[in-house]
């Protein structure tokens, strides 16, 4: 049989009983092109999601994941982070080549190690116990497989106590590069995340954490000599507000996007690098005027210590805003 329609199937479960974080996932990679065919991952505090999961076909795992989400039994933030971390890593050709090599040699230890690194980073917990299953299937077998965890079995009266925002922000253009970034905060002159809408301009800083983001930082020449990352202008591609949370898709360029969940959307963020510089310079000018005023009034000499503090604060403003 040729490789034209074959897929590598990686099923995995992981657990950390101390933190009560349990993860389930399936990765399908095109054997010929090495491209990602499908990805489904989930994190939950219920260890029941692990039971017999490695015995399920790929669609069975997908249905089990969707059922868990529907019933509100998933850890929303960790699940989103897990999805983003896996997508980011699997968007790297080098990472895909490495994991495919270990799949071809049936080296489960190495595959588990690669997956474990991603899981630990996403969940913030190390020492996950990981079990995996490796095999190959054809696309036809994948499409024809009936799921033993059918969504029709979902209890329609099950209460969803953990509403998911996934459907509100999933339209990242196909083929785009997904990178990790963080919003630049601006407590004084910024605007709340809850006020951001489609097309709003924001300032972000890429977060070096995975091969794709690191490669993007290098390509865009964003790394300073001291190792810090330059802030860049971006815009809101899509945003969904849900109470105190906001899920955001950020457009950095025509083919570079980022996705994040801001759990406290009352924080204020920078909207323009130019405005930030202007605000910082205005504050410095105000400080300089105060210093000149002190020079003309010797009775205020004893405030010199306070002026020194103002100068230090001004320097911090320049560093923070520029």
Q: What is the pLDDT of residues 214-244, one digit of tens each?
A: 889 998 999 998 889 999 999 999 999 888 8
**The predicted structure's pLDDT at residue 316:** 59
Which is more confident, 153 or 21? 21
- The pLDDT of residue 154 is 43
112-121, 164-173, 312-321: lowest mean pLDDT where? 164-173
Q: What is the mean pLDDT of the chain?
A: 80
**Residues 62, 98 within the same domain:** yes
Q: Are 215 and 100 found together in one domain?
A: no
Strands, DSSP E only, in 87-231?
129-138, 177-179, 181-183, 191-192, 201-206
Has residue 243 been placed in a domain?
A: yes
In this structure, are 263 and 194 located in the same domain?
A: yes
Say yes or no: 110 and 237 in one domain. no
Quote the tokens at residue 254: 């025509």
11 and 135 within one domain: yes
Binned at pLDDT 50, 70 and 90, residue 158 comes out as very low
pTM over 0.85: no
Q: Over the stretch 9-53, which tens digit does the pLDDT of each residue have?
A: 999 999 988 888 899 999 999 988 888 998 999 999 888 999 889
22 and 122 fall within a common domain:
yes
Check whether residue 183 and residue 300 sit in a common domain: no
Same domain, 241 and 263: yes
Beta-carbon contacts of residue 53 (< 8 Å; ≥ 6 apart): 11, 13, 24, 61, 64
Reported as a pLDDT band with limits 50, 70 and 90, residue 141 is confident
Token readout for 190 is 């910024």
Check if the beta carbon of residue 258 is closer than 8 Å to that of residue 179. yes
Which position has the higher pLDDT, 169 or 322? 322
In a domain, 16, yes or no: yes
If asked whether residues 13 and 97 sit together in one domain, one would say yes
Owning domain of residue 182: 177-270
**Same domain, residue pair 197 and 285:** no
Q: What residues are paired with 25 via a beta bridge?
A: 12, 41
Confidence of residue 151 (pLDDT cuts 50, 70, 90): very low
């Amino acid at each position: 049989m040729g490789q034209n329609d074959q897929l590598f199937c990686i099923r995995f479960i992981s657990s950390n009983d101390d933190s009560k974080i349990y993860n389930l996932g399936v990765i399908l990679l095109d054997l010929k092109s090495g491209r990602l065919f499908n990805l489904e991952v989930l994190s939950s505090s219920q260890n029941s999601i692990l039971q017999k999961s490695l015995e399920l076909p790929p669609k069975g795992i997908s249905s089990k994941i969707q059922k868990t989400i529907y019933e509100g039994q998933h850890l929303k933030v960790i699940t989103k982070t897990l999805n983003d971390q896996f997508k980011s890593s699997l968007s790297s050709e080098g990472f895909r080549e490495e994991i495919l090599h270990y799949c071809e040699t049936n080296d489960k230890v190495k595959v588990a190690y690669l997956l474990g690194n991603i899981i630990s980073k996403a969940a913030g917990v190390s020492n996950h116990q990981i079990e995996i299953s490796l095999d190959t299937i054809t696309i036809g077998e994948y499409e024809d497989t009936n799921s033993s965890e059918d969504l029709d079995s979902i209890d329609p009266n099950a209460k969803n106590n953990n509403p998911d925002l996934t459907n509100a922000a999933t339209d990242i253009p196909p083929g785009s590069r997904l990178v990790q970034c963080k919003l630049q905060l601006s407590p004084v002159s910024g605007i709340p995340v809850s006020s951001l809408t489609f097309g709003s301009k924001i300032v972000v800083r890429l977060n070096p954490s995975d091969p794709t983001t690191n490669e993007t930082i290098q390509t865009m020449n964003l790394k300073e000599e001291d190792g810090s990352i330059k802030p860049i202008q971006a815009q809101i591609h899509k945003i969904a507000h849900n109470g105190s949370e906001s899920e955001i898709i950020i457009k950095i360029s025509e083919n570079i996007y980022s996705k994040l969940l801001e759990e406290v959307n009352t924080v204020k963020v920078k909207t323009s690098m130019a405005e930030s510089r202007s605000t910082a310079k205005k504050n410095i000018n105000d400080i300089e005027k105060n210093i000149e005023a002190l020079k003309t009034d010797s009775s205020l000499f004893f405030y010199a210590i306070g002026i020194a503090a103002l100068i230090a604060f001004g320097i911090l403003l320049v560093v923070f805003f520029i």
